Amino acid sequence: MVRGSLTRAGIAGAVSFALAVGLAPLSAGSVRAAPVAGEVVVPAAYVLDPQTQLLSAGPSGFLRHESTLGYLWTSYAGVDTKLDMSRTDAVMLPDFGAGSDIVASPDLAARTVTLRDMATGRSRTVEIPVGHTYVSTLGSTVVTRVQASSDGDHTWHLLDSHDDGSVTRRAVAGVPDGITGSSEVGAPLGDARGQVVQYRVGSTPRTGFLDVEQGRLVPLPYASHAGTGTVVLTATHLLWLHGGTVSVHSRGDLTATPRTVPLTGGSQVLGMVGEALVVGRHDPSLGPLNHLDPVWRVEAVALDGRPVKTLLARSEGLPMPTPDGRLLVQGGPDLDRWGISVVEPADGGDVTIRKIAEAYPRKLQAVSGLTYTQGRLTTLEHHNAWQERRHLHTREIGVTGSRTVGASTDRGPAPASCDTTACPDLHDTGDGRTVVSGLSYGRTDDDRQPRLLEPTGSMPGVRIDNTRTYQSVAAVSGRFAALTMPYAGTGAETRVVDLGTGGTVFTTTATVEALWGSTLWVRDGNDAVAPVDVLTGQRGAQVWFGRGCLLEDLQAVGRWLLWTCVGSAAGQGVYDTVRKTNLRLVSGDDWSSAKLGDGFVASEVNGQLKVTDVRGGTPVSHIAGAFASWRPWDVDPYTGVIAHLGADDGIHLVPSGIPVSPLVQVDAAVATSAHVKGATGHWSPKWWLSKPAASWTLVIRSQSGAVVRTLGGGLTRGLVAPTWNGRDDRRRLMPNGTYTWTLTATPADGQGAALTASGTMRFSNACQIGDRPQLVTIRCR
């Protein structure tokens, strides 16, 4: 059965076909608490997610919200004061106050607004009259809205608070009759002197400036919605971007004809400092267009036509104008150097920028999935926090001596749709390759078909079989993948496909549970499985898990089968295909998600990693450290190492403490004859191994026993794949004939004897040896 995204699918054991059912007595076993030594931790990988929100600015400092610290009042010298805003109902600008050192905290249930003066430390409370709705706080004035009738007829009121605690109420003049709806624009569109508002008269949308100093509404010539990056109110100007043009209104007379400045190319207007517009330009190299993501470059555009000046390489979110005509922006050269900077005027009409405070991007754990096979760690990792897209990474971990952690190799992005429920499934073959399924790069069937990634290949890989449409990957091992076709009629057909050729070697309508080498495990009823040799079609003896078992899951490694049953005989256990005995680990349905290694089972119990040795007649368990539930993990059956993402966000590589079985051949594809065509072709045998080998040697001998060629290599993870072009060690082309070969591979873990295999092959190269005395000639056609 295929396990979840980024977990190994189709791990099964190399077994004898002469299986018989022999269930051993059940035993509860014992538990020992000795810790497992040799754990290695791959350092946590994080991405930074800027979450700063600039909320208001006054003469002495500014209010901001940081996701990790809450609300902070920051002086222009960069000194932070943390504020308790736990009871505030403020949600958008300028709910929190605008244009002064006063921080507003409305409590809508109590119908009060607390005004805290950050310059003096004094607080006062303004009561919201019955029938009024809180709008904003501008300086020391609380703005409310009143609806005079059920049909609408909105108007605004100003509640001016004084140092002695008194409040003076003013009705806003110039408000037209018949307003049927109104809204106060968010974004930095208010200060101590007024606020931009939108409303409707009948069905006609209108915009106005609510002038707090004059206590009146000033109509503006805009009916369009004031969205993010389109409207900014500074101490000196009102800026309105529409149709690629910025209208620059003087605050001295908002009804006068504005200056216009063209602004094109995916831009948003951020503010104005002196005689320069500050704008944000989308930088596609930083990510897709989104107004609230850190994909914006901050530039200064002088109104007199001077060259554009880059102020910040990267920014996000809304800026905040200050009462003295400057502009606060967040950003930096990169996410590691994020902060709050102030743009301010300089001599000669120029502008400068300087960082005044640190920002605190949220750190997010990057790894969302992992596999661990033959000491090769593959992960799906976030590349940034504002996109769900992840990249595939591979690290090679040491398998000889110390378990060193190799450098991470980026193997390309997963589909853009990849999130916690729609990422591709990765099925390691055990020889460095990966079968990728569940793809959604596009909408066609071809986009969604299983693909093969070579050990150094990049996502999404190459389609395995171009001739058919497949629904899912049932199992994978070595050179084969069991691919299930869409359901048709009474069932779904599964084809075992050679990953090298894309050709089908075996077809079945039975449910495929696992695959190892050339042995396919298929469902045989609801309570049993049977092995099938995919190369010969030979079927082995049934393995039965008992009456009342409804087989839920099957895994296999080497000689072991880990089964999980539901139904009246629910439970979990391990079947030994060599001894033909069954060892029940759990009776009933109180079993946890478990994974099978070489002679052991790993599972989670009460936040601990439990390792159970199943090699003897009684299960013996020990705890191998803390384990974070519901985080990705995997068991490497080839090295006996368990990889799991810990609570500290590092990837823990924990030895099981159970010795791995001796190095053996899992599968082989060795041609018994080869024609090298005058050394232009090759004899290319392949052996798949049960664990990494530190080195290997292939010796080729003539019929006389003389060594003609020795091939060899160093560390290999699961596959030995030499090539011989028919030449001897002195690069001479060898004559036609029968040759013997001997393969020797030494285990990388130093445990057990070396693997040896031997055989013969018929070699031809279209060459003949001349028979003239004292002269040997080789003629090739």
Q: In terms of C-beta density within 10 A (0-12 exposed, 13-18 middle, 19 or more buried), how is residue 661 classed? A: buried
User: What pLDDT score does 387 carry?
Assistant: 66
Amino acid in position 126? V
Cα distances (Å, whole numbers) of residue 39 to 11, 401, 402, 597 = 24, 13, 10, 17
- Beta strand 267-273 pairing with 276-282: antiparallel
- Provide CB contacts within 8 A for 430, sequence distance 6+: 373, 374, 477, 478, 638, 666, 688, 718
Cβ(65)–Cβ(685) below 8 Å:
no
* Alpha carbon distance 241, 103 (integer Å): 29
* Alpha carbon distance 86, 74 (integer Å): 18
3-state SS assignment for residue 445: helix
Cβ(144)–Cβ(129) below 8 Å:
yes
Q: Return phi, psi of residue 552, to 5°.
A: -100, -35
**Bridge partners (DSSP) listed for residue 239:** 232, 248
Cβ(182)–Cβ(200) below 8 Å:
yes
Instruction: Give the DSSP letter string of 288-314.
Output: S--TTSS-EEEEEEETT-PPPEEEEEE
* Alpha carbon distance 777, 158 (integer Å): 110
For residues 425, 429, 433 and 439, what is the CA-based torsion angle, rounded to 10 degrees? -20
User: What pLDDT score does 224 carry?
Assistant: 60
- Provide CB contacts within 8 A for 79, sequence distance 6+: none
Placement of tokens 């507003």 in the chain: 104
Alpha-carbon dihedral sign for residues 387, 388, 389, 391:
positive
* Alpha carbon distance 44, 270 (integer Å): 36
* Alpha carbon distance 431, 690 (integer Å): 10
Token couple for 690: 């049960």
CA angle at 554 for the pair 551 and 555, rounded to the nearest 5°: 170
**Bridge partners (DSSP) listed for residue 248:** 239, 259
Q: In terms of C-beta density within 10 A (0-12 exposed, 13-18 middle, 19 or more buried), how is residue 122 classed? A: exposed
What are the residue ranges in the chain where pLDDT is below 50? 1-35, 186, 420, 768-781
* Alpha carbon distance 519, 536 (integer Å): 10
- Average pLDDT over the chain, rounded to an integer: 87
User: What pLDDT score does 30 carry?
Assistant: 46
Residues, the chain: 781
Alpha-carbon dihedral sign for residues 266, 271, 277, 280:
negative
* Alpha carbon distance 144, 155 (integer Å): 9
Amino acid in position 684? S
Cβ(371)–Cβ(7) below 8 Å:
yes
Cβ(451)–Cβ(463) below 8 Å:
yes
Q: Percentage helix, strand, coil, to 5, in the chain?
A: 0, 50, 50
Cα–Cα nearest to 4, from 307, 375, 370: 370
**Bridge partners (DSSP) listed for residue 643:** 634, 653
pTM over 0.75: yes
Cα distances (Å, whole numbers) of residue 645 to 163, 598, 629 = 57, 21, 9
Amino acid in position 561? L
Cβ(514)–Cβ(554) below 8 Å:
yes
Task: Determine the distance from the C-alpha atom of residue 274 to the mean position of all C-alpha atoms in its chain, rounded to a whole number.
Answer: 44
* Alpha carbon distance 634, 331 (integer Å): 39
* Alpha carbon distance 435, 521 (integer Å): 19
Cα distances (Å, whole numbers) of residue 132 to 126, 152, 192, 499, 760 = 13, 13, 21, 72, 96
Cβ count near 40 (within 10 Å): 18
Question: Quick one: how many helices (H) and strands (E) in the chain?
Answer: 1, 69
For 503-535, what is each residue's pLDDT tens digit?
Answer: 999 999 999 999 999 999 999 999 999 999 999
User: What pLDDT score does 179 carry?
Assistant: 83
Cα–Cα nearest to 278, from 251, 242, 253, 246: 246
Q: In terms of C-beta density within 10 A (0-12 exposed, 13-18 middle, 19 or more buried), how is residue 552 classed? A: middle
- Provide CB contacts within 8 A for 90, sequence distance 6+: 96, 104, 105, 106
Cβ(540)–Cβ(15) below 8 Å:
yes
For residues 10, 12, 16 and 22, what is the CA-based torsion angle, rounded to 10 degrees? -120
Cβ(435)–Cβ(456) below 8 Å:
no
Token couple for 734: 């060898």
Token couple for 96: 């929190």
Cβ(264)–Cβ(304) below 8 Å:
no
Amino acid in position 705? G
Q: Return phi, psi of residue 22, to 5°.
A: -145, 95
Q: In terms of C-beta density within 10 A (0-12 exposed, 13-18 middle, 19 or more buried), how is residue 95 classed? A: buried
